[in-house]
Structure 1
Amino acid sequence: MATGPLPSGHPIVKPRKIGVLLSNLGTPDATDYWSMRRYLAEFLSDKRVIEAPRALWWVILNGIILTTRPGRKGKDYETIWNRELNESPLKTITRSQSDKLGSAVRSGLLGPEAADAVAVDWGMRYGNPSVRSALERLQAQGCDRILLVPLYPQYAAATTATACDKVFEALMAMRWQPALRVAPPYHDDPAYIDALAVSLREGLAALDFEPEVVIASFHGVPKDYLLKGDPYHCQCAKTARLLREAMGMTTDTFRLTFQSRFGRAEWLQPYTDETIKALAKRGVKRLAVITPGFSADCLETIEEIGGENAEYFHHGGGEKFARIPCLNDSAGGMAVIEAIVKRELMGWV
Structure 2
Amino acid sequence: MIGILLVNLGTPDAPTTPALRRYLREFLSDRRVVEIPPILWWPILNGPILLTRPARSARAYARVWMPEGSPLLVYSQRLAAGLQEIWDREEPGRVRVELAMRYGNPPVAKGLQRLWDEGCRKILVVPLYPQYAAATTASTFDAVARTLMGWREIPALRLVRDWHDHPLYIANLARSVRAHWQSTGEPERLLISFHGLPERCVALGDPYRAQCERTTTLLVEALGLAPERYLQTFQSRFGPAKWLQPYTDKTLEALGKAGVDRVDCLCPGFSADCLETLDEIAVEGRDTFLEAGGRDMHYIPALNDDPQWIADFARILAPHWQDWDR
Tell me which interval the TM-score lies in, with the shorter structure as reference length: over 0.9
- Partner of 2:313, secondary structure, is helix
1:232 matched to 2:208? The reply is: yes
Instruction: Please tell me the root mean square deviation across aligned C-alpha atoms, in Å.
Output: 0.9
Give the count of matched residue pairs. 325
2:86–2:311 contact (8 Å) kept in structure 1: no
What does the per-residue CA deviation read over 1:25-76, in whole Å, with 9 as the maximum and x for residues that have no partner? 0000011111100000000000000011111100110011000000000000
Partner in structure 2 of residue 256 of structure 1: 232
1:191–1:335 contact (8 Å) kept in structure 2: no
Alignment of 1:267-286 (within 5 A): 267-286=243-262
Distance 1:190 1:117 in 2: 26
Partner in structure 2 of residue 59 of structure 1: 43
Partner in structure 2 of residue 347 of structure 1: 323
Partner in structure 2 of residue 50 of structure 1: 34
Structure 1 residue identity aligned to 2:223: M
Partner in structure 1 of residue 79 of structure 2: 97
- Partner of 1:99, secondary structure, is helix
What does the per-residue CA deviation read over 1:215-247, in whole Å, with 9 as the maximum and x for residues that have no partner? 110000000000000000000000001101111
Structure 2 residue identity aligned to 1:141: E
1:326 matched to 2:302? The reply is: yes
Per the TM alignment, residue 335 of structure 1 is displaced from its structure 2 partner at its CA by 3.0
Q: TM-score under structure 2 normalisation?
A: 0.98
Alignment counterpart, residue 304 of structure 1, candidates 261, 276, 280: 280
Structure 2 residue identity aligned to 1:285: D
1:183–1:340 contact (8 Å) kept in structure 2: no
Partner in structure 2 of residue 151 of structure 1: 128
Structure 1 residue identity aligned to 2:244: L
2:83–2:311 contact (8 Å) kept in structure 1: no
Q: Percent identity?
A: 48
Of Structure 1 and Structure 2, the greater helix share is in 2
1:247 matched to 2:247? The reply is: no
2:266–2:300 contact (8 Å) kept in structure 1: yes
List alignment gaps of at least 5 residues for structure 2. Answer: none
Alignment of 1:1-349 (within 5 A): 17-82=1-66, 84-85=67-68, 87-108=69-90, 114-207=91-184, 209-349=185-325
1:154–1:187 contact (8 Å) kept in structure 2: yes
- Partner of 1:30, secondary structure, is coil
- Partner of 2:264, secondary structure, is strand
Distance 2:255 2:241 in 1: 24
Deviates more, 1:168-177 or 1:256-265: 168-177
List alignment gaps of at least 5 residues for structure 1. Answer: 1-16, 109-113
Per the TM alignment, residue 183 of structure 1 is displaced from its structure 2 partner at its CA by 1.1
Distance 2:298 2:153 in 1: 50
Larger of the two Rg values belongs to structure: 1
Distance 2:34 2:132 in 1: 16
Distance 1:250 1:223 in 2: 28
2:20–2:55 contact (8 Å) kept in structure 1: yes
- Partner of 1:143, secondary structure, is coil
Per the TM alignment, residue 337 of structure 1 is displaced from its structure 2 partner at its CA by 2.0
Structure 2 residue identity aligned to 1:163: T
